[in-house]
Amino acid sequence: MSESTLTSPATVSSFEVRPSSSPRTVTERAAVLADLRFGTAFTDHMARAVWTVDEGWHDRRVEAYGPLQMDPAAAVLHYAQEVFEGLKAYAHPDGSVWSFRPEANAARFARSAERLALPVLPEQDFLDSLRTLVHTDVEWVPTTPGSSLYLRPFMFASEAFLGVRAANRVDYLVIASPVGPYFAKGLKPVAIWVSRDYKRAAPGGTGAAKCGGNYAASLRPQAEAAAKGFDQILFTDASDTYVEELGGMNVVVVGKDGVASTPRLSGSILEGVTRSSILTLLTERGLEVRERDIPVAELIDGVRSGEVAEVFACGTAAVVSPIGRLAGEGFDLEVGGGEAGPVTEWVHRTLTDIQYGRAEDSHGWLTRLV
């Protein structure tokens, strides 16, 4: 297990803690933690900071979780100037709490902000906000196997102004939600619909930024696929030639020949922290990893012929999701016998063993929060 280099987060953080005057009781909290779903329950506090053109970042604090007061003219409500992040805090057997590569999330948050003309939050503030919030709400970090505290940092234009320009006032918040295991009993393969009529992103657009607008655009295709009985959509690129990613997860294709391929970072796909970690692990396992343009036709032919042994999606929430069925206009194919394959299983086990402190963190991927 890695060694903690951290002094008490509460004393080093730039975020001032103002404890909630009405936190949930031990019994109320226990009831929430006994029945975890994704993203429905939140802890007693939230982290917050404000940015203005004149003052820069200020008012860093952790305060009671609760509704925001917002002007109806707040720019985010009209022009969607917003970015977010998603990562988890994991309880280890010794009671310490860790997050996985939060510096990578801080860096991506900064890149997303730049694309959306939002101010960059310094990495130290990003990490301090996570540490101070998790320290304050540490009783909310679930300890049942496979559970974690999901952290959602986000930033939005709060200036009351209907003119179209980058806002002069921005709010940054972090909220935290205890979540159970994504797969309660073993990896469950998902059915994917390949979308050809709808695009998630295009060259020069916002596909590489983690912004709410990308998600808004994916809801309609997602709903249409769900109505056909599919779990998720696989988006193709703007020219409809290459595989890109799912609505919120990257995709990896494992060939019978031991080559793992994933779409290269073309500028219109999201650079997943899970994706990059998995590529490292696969290389160490001895697979040849190729970041490249994957033609949709090649993927379909490969699944049909059996050249493609496994396909999985990856992201923070599920870690990996095996893809057991791939369908679209004119084809409907089973992938890898409809089961999670050995590489997919290995990746899931290896990554979660590191995250939960069951295996050595030889890459230095874990950062201690509490």
Ligand X SMILES: *Cc1c(COP(=O)(O)O)cnc(C)c1O
| Interacting residues with ligand X (CB under 6 A) | 86, 210, 245, 248-250, 270, 272-275, 315-316
Name the pairing type of β-strands 232-236 and 243-246.
antiparallel
Q: Please say which residue, 274 or 344, places its beta carbon nearer to ligand X.
A: 274
Shortest Å, Cβ 360 to ligand X: 22
Q: Please say which residue, 50 or 104, places its beta carbon nearer to ligand X.
A: 104
CB 89 within 8 A of CB 148: yes
Shortest Å, Cβ 231 to ligand X: 15
Q: Which of 259, 272, 333, 327 is nearest to 303 (CA)?
A: 333
- Count helices and strands (H / E) in the chain: 9, 18
The SS3 call for residue 346 is helix
Q: Please say which residue, 86 or 213, places its beta carbon nearer to ligand X.
A: 86
Q: Please say which residue, 136 or 206, places its beta carbon nearer to ligand X.
A: 206
CB 100 within 8 A of CB 366: yes
Residue with tokens 């909310």: 140
Q: Please say which residue, 210 or 325, places its beta carbon nearer to ligand X.
A: 210
Give the count of beta carbons closer than 10 Å to the beta carbon of residue 100: 23
Q: Please say which residue, 86 or 205, places its beta carbon nearer to ligand X.
A: 86
Shortest Å, Cβ 171 to ligand X: 21
Shortest Å, Cβ 303 to ligand X: 21
- The residues near 221 (Cβ < 8 Å, ≥ 6 apart) are 195, 197, 198, 233, 235, 247
Shortest Å, Cβ 154 to ligand X: 12
The SS3 call for residue 276 is helix
Distance CA 101, CA 45 (A): 23
- The residues near 26 (Cβ < 8 Å, ≥ 6 apart) are none
Shortest Å, Cβ 199 to ligand X: 13
Distance CA 247, CA 262 (A): 15
